[in-house]
Amino acid sequence: MNFAFFEGRIVPFADAKISVMTHAFNYGTGVFEGIRGYWSNNKINVLMLGEHYKRLFNSAKIIKIKINYTIDQLIDITIELVKRNGYREDVYIRPIAYKSHERIGLGLTGIDDDLTIYMAPFGEYLDISKGINICTSTWRKIDDNIIPARAKVTGMYVNSSLAKSEALENGFDEAIMLSTDGHVAEGSGENIFIVRDGRLITPPITENTLEGLTRALIIELAKDELGIDTKERTVDRTELFIADELFFTGTGAQISPIRSIDKRVVGLGTIGPITSKLQKIYFDIVKGNNPKYKHLITPVEI
């Protein structure tokens, strides 16, 4: 049987149900995280657990959701939930803090909040071995002054879903979204990196992108492990066309090489050398095999 954390307790997954009148269900007033746990060495190695909860608190602050737990309590609850579910495969953990009031009417204050956590087995979200084909979306990335993009707000994912769905319906694997001013922002659920002349480039967070944890880790790993600096600067769509390598980063996407964009082959159409080195370093770390980065992993014995 699967379990979820719901209304303050770990309960059978089937009992974790909200009312149709719930504010978050009606108005998209929730904030969430997506956390991966990698099954390796007979443990679930949960990646950047504390960092994810830190971002959840930031998202919650932006849309005035009160979380009645500390980060340490949420970490303990998550570990307990991972143990109770007992999956012996890669998992995805989804905490959501949300406006739980059963009330009609807009606003963010004077409305009850709650938090739930559930998890499920999870494999690859995007291909990581041969490269994906992406397109530029006709949907623009939502602006920070419309729905704050740095907060992981449930309602914001209508924007991402429009882009993802359009891409899939047109035969692509994923979409790249531009900001209203036409600069590259991010994928529907990923940050993007460009390799040009042996250097890394990624759009700045102020380009209406999520403050991606994988993005931050890749910037650190590129510098510390490969001696490669990442330039955070505005990127034009056409610069993606002439990149030597392109890849997405994200908890779900991991490091997903991009094979083509808008029907233009990227580089040689194979996984580039820098992408491939970063993948190797990343997967070693997430499986708990690199002692230097043990602090990023919460190992849970099953």
- Contact positions vs ligand PMP (CB under 6 A): 34, 160, 186, 189-191, 210, 212-215, 249-251
Confirm whether 17 is a catalytic residue: no
**Measured distance CA(19)–CA(227) in Å, rounded:** 52
From the list 43, 99, 141, 152, the catalytic residue is: 152
Closer by beta carbon to ligand PMP, 263 or else 295: 295
Q: Are 65 and 99 in contact (CB under 8 A)?
A: yes
Alpha helices, DSSP H, located in 170-272: 213-226, 237-241
Closer by beta carbon to ligand PMP, 6 or else 32: 32
Closer by beta carbon to ligand PMP, 131 or else 212: 212
Q: Shortest gap between Cβ of 210 and ligand PMP (angstroms)?
A: 4
Q: Can you state the percent helix, strand and coil of the chain, rounding each to 5?
A: 30, 30, 40
Q: What angle (nearest 5°) sits at the alpha carbon of residue 289, between those of residues 284 and 290?
A: 80
Alpha helices, DSSP H, located in the chain: 23-27, 49-62, 71-85, 157-169, 213-226, 237-241, 273-286
SS3 at position 61: helix
Q: Shortest gap between Cβ of 29 and ligand PMP (angstroms)?
A: 17
Q: Shortest gap between Cβ of 34 and ligand PMP (angstroms)?
A: 5
Closer by beta carbon to ligand PMP, 187 or else 288: 187
Return all residues near 154 (Cβ < 8 A) that are at least 6 apart.
24, 28, 29, 30, 31, 32, 96, 98
Sequence letter at residue 96: I
Q: Shortest gap between Cβ of 175 and ligand PMP (angstroms)?
A: 11
By annotation, the residues acting in catalysis are 152
